[in-house]
Amino acid sequence: MRIVQVSPYFYPHVGGVESHVLDLSTELVSRGHHVSVLTTNLGKMPDKESMMDVEVIRLKPLSTMFQTPIVPRTEKYLKNAKADIIHTHSPPPLSSYYAARGCKTANIPFIITYHCDVEIPILMGKIIAGVYRRTLESYTVKRAEKIIVTSGSYHATSRTVWKYNPRIIPNAVDANRFNPEVDGSEIREKHGIGPDEHVILFVGRMVWHKGVEYLIEASKHLENTKFLVVGSGEHLGNYKSMALESGVADRVIFTGRLSWSDLPKCYAASDVFVLPSISRLEAFGITTLEAMATGKAVIVADIPGVREVIDDGKEGLVFDVMDAEDLAKKASILLGNPELRKEMGKQGRKKVEERFTIATVADQVEELYEEVLSSSRMSR
C-alpha cells in the first residue's frame, strides 16, 4: 500500500502530532507499506529526504498565519501523487483542506485524523475560528471518507465532528523507548536534585494552552519538591520570569528542549507527571502515555480527551482545570504515598501495553485503510 501522511509540521519540529505521525509511519513501513510524509519546509531543511525509511517531502509555504503554514502546493502535489490513500492530520488546519481538494481531483481516498479543535488566542479569535469551521473546515471533514478522533469524549464535545460517526483510534507511544527500566539518575544529578527530594515532571511546548503557569503556582504549596519543566517555546521567558517573581525559581527547573535520548531519562527521574493543559488544543496528551509507559503515576487536567486516557484513582488523578490549589492537593496525595504511586505506575504501564502501543494503534489504522480502499473499489 502506498500511503501519504500529510502533517503541517514534522521533525525537527517537536509536538504530539509530529511524534504520532513519525511513530505511525515507521511502524507502517516495517509492515511493508511505502509511506511518505508531506509536510512544510520551514527553512534550512532538504526538500526531500529519507528518515527511518519514511520518505519526507517538504513544500515551501506562502506564509504562516496563527502558527498555521499556508501551503497551497499541497493540493498540486497530491493531484499527481501515486498513492493508494491520503491520511491527513489536523490541526493546523489548512494542509488538510488543500489535501481534500487535491484528493478530490485525483480521486484518491482521503482520511483525516482530527486531533483537536481550532482555537486562536487573540481578540477576534473565536470569530475567525467560527468562520473557518463553517467554511473550509466543513468542506474538509465532509470530503473525508473517514474521520479518526482520538477519544470518545472529545468527539462528543467537538463543535466540528460531534455530528459525524468517526472511528475512535487513540494516539500511541513507543513502549520500548519509554519503559520502567530506564535510569533517571543522570538527570537528577545534572540538576542537583537530592535523593530525598521529590520530582514532578512536565513535558511540552512552552505555549499558552499547556497551563504551565498553574504548575508554577502549585509549586508554592509543595515543599521538598523540584518541578522539572521540559520543553521550549515562545512563552519560556515569561514562565521563567513568573517563577522568579513567585519566589519559586529555586524549585522550578526549566531544561529547555532535550535530546531524543535524554527525554526518557526525565520520565525515569520523576516521581509524578503532570499535564495541566487548559484548552481544547490539548485533546489527548501523548506525554501522559510516555509517563505511564515509564511506570509513573500521572495527574491530568479535567478536560475532554485528556481525562479519558486514565481512570481517575487507578493510573493517576484528575484535577480541576486551572485550579493550582487542587493540583497541589492531588500532588501531595501521591507524593505522600509511595506505594500508591507505585501501584498507579504499574497500572499505567499495563494500560499502555494493552491499548496504546504503536503496534496496537497501527493495527486499527491499517484495518481502517483496508476498509476505505475496499469501499472505494466497490464504488468505482
In a domain, 179, yes or no: no
Looking at the structure, do residues 311 and 300 belong to the same domain, yes or no?
Answer: yes
User: Are residues 349 and 217 part of one domain?
Assistant: yes
Give the pLDDT confidence score for residue 259 in this predicted structure. 86
341/373 same-domain check? no
With cut-offs at 50, 70 and 90, classify the pLDDT of residue 219: very high
Whole-angstrom CA distances from 319 to 50, 331, 333 are 42, 9, 12
- Hey, which residues does 349 pair with through a beta bridge? none
Residue 379 has a pLDDT of: 61
Q: What is the pLDDT averaged over residues 15-27?
A: 90
The confidence band for 378, taking pLDDT boundaries of 50, 70 and 90, is low
Is it true that the peptide bond before 91 is cis, omega within 30 degrees of 0?
yes
Predicted confidence (pLDDT) per residue in 99-147, tens digit: 999 999 999 999 999 988 777 777 777 888 788 788 888 888 899 999 9
Query: What CATH number does the domain containing 123 carry?
Result: 3.40.50.2000
Q: What band does 152 get if pLDDT is binned at 50, 70 and 90?
A: confident
Which residue type, as a one-letter code, is found at position 230?
V
- Residue 380 pLDDT: 54
For 293, the domain range is: 185-356
Per-residue pLDDT band at 29 (split at 50, 70, 90): very high
Look at residue 148 in the predicted model and tell me its pLDDT: 95
Residue 36 has pLDDT above 70, yes or no: yes
Can you give the pLDDT at residue 281? 74
For residues 239 and 284, membership in a common domain is answered with yes
Same-domain status, 341 and 375? no
Given a contact cutoff of 8 angstroms between Cβ atoms, the answer to whether 207 and 234 are in contact is yes
Beta-carbon count within 10 A of 131 CB: 12
The CA distance from 48 to 45, in Å, is 8
pLDDT of residue 235: 92
- Arithmetic mean of pLDDT over the chain: 92
**Would you say 164 and 147 are in contact if contact means Cβ atoms under 8 Å apart?**
yes
Per the listing, cell 481517575 goes with: 312
Q: Is 374 left (phi over 0), alpha (psi -120 to 50) or beta?
A: alpha
d(CA 161, CA 283): 13
Burial label, 104 (beta-carbon count in 10 A; 0-12, 13-18, 19+): middle
213 near 287, Cβ under 8 Å? no
